[in-house]
Amino acid sequence: CGRTDAMDIDVDAPLDYLPRIKNYYIGLGYGKPYGWAKLDDVPFTNLQKPLSAARIGIVTTASLFNPENGEQGPGAPYNGKAKFFTCYAEPIAPFPDVRVAHIAIDRAHTTASDMASYFPLAALLRLADTGYIGPISPNFYGLPTNRSQRVTTQTDCPKLLSLCQADAVDAVVMVPNCPVCHQSMALAAAHLEAAGIATVIMGCARDIIAYVGAPRLLFNDLPLGNGAGLPHDQPSQDLAAKLAVDLLVDATAPRTIKQSPLQWAGAADWKKDYSNIALLSKVEIARLRAEFDAVKKDAAKLKQALYSKRFAVN
């Protein structure tokens, strides 16, 4: 592959993930590119309470850590066994351990070593302690990273809504990690808004959210896996959380996008590097294809085992 086009990257412009991912998967030999969801109409609901009185929930695509599922710590490789396939609600106390080692964050430039960069519970608790927002929901909510839009809209979204309604949340802050996570969160945001729950997404893939359609997005122009702020940088995380909840009030129409002022402190070429098939040798492409196939196989086995168990119980 030639490298000329690969080097022509505007480091100040948001990375366009949709064409990058399309070229990447075609380059790996997967054939027909993925067809992304696109909402014609995006529901929108105004926050029904003052921000200082609103109960806020957190929706994440991160998995609860389970040591039985293999390596999931900072810098861990892809791990299909760490995926989850059904929505969940888990208590925020004691402080949970959620990880993103199983999904396509930007592994070349970030390691998921700071949970606060993708799970904003600590920052939101600090806002609640000052009275800036109301109480945090006693539970947080997991939304699966599901390539099947039918399963997301017909199964995952209604389940997520029921979990949020059970805890009487007024609004949710939603933090996707990988590209497909952004699609899932946008679809879920639309479902929640249609039912009267205000939403704001804290995401790094602006073009995916804009394409699918979502009520509100706080765009952090950072490598995937840092939707809630810079790793090991509490001030940036606090700023991102405040900007996100402010958008719950400030937005007046769907498809509102606000960009935070945060800038990546690491290598400036992260936008050039992410899933850039033009930078890979044939040997690297073959290795990555084999890794992806192995991960997909592991995930398929786990999904089948979970479905079989559910069928046996029923």
**186 neighbors 214 (Cβ within 8 angstroms):** yes
Residue 2: the pLDDT is 34
Integer Cα distance of 6 and 14 in angstroms: 15
pLDDT at residue number 5: 43
- CA-to-CA distance for 198 and 189, rounded, in angstroms? 8
Q: Is the dihedral of CA 179, 180, 181, 184 positive or negative?
A: positive
Asked whether 256 and 216 are in contact (CB, 8 A), the reply is: yes
pLDDT tens digits, the chain, 314 residues: what are they? 333 344 466 778 999 999 999 999 999 999 888 999 999 999 999 999 999 999 999 999 999 998 888 888 777 777 777 788 999 999 999 999 999 876 688 888 988 899 999 999 999 999 999 999 999 999 999 999 888 999 999 999 999 999 999 999 999 999 999 999 999 999 999 999 999 999 999 999 999 999 999 999 999 999 999 999 999 999 999 999 999 999 999 999 999 999 999 999 998 899 999 999 999 999 999 998 988 787 777 667 766 766 565 545 54
Cα three-residue angle 131-255-184, rounded to 5 degrees:
85
The SS3 call for residue 31 is: coil
The predicted structure's pLDDT at residue 81: 76
What integer pLDDT is reported at residue 107 of this predicted model? 83
> What pTM did the predictor assign?
0.92
Predicted pLDDT of residue 305: 65
**For residue 6, what pLDDT is reported?**
46
Report how far residue 13's alpha carbon sits from residue 205's, in angstroms, rounded to the nearest whole number: 12
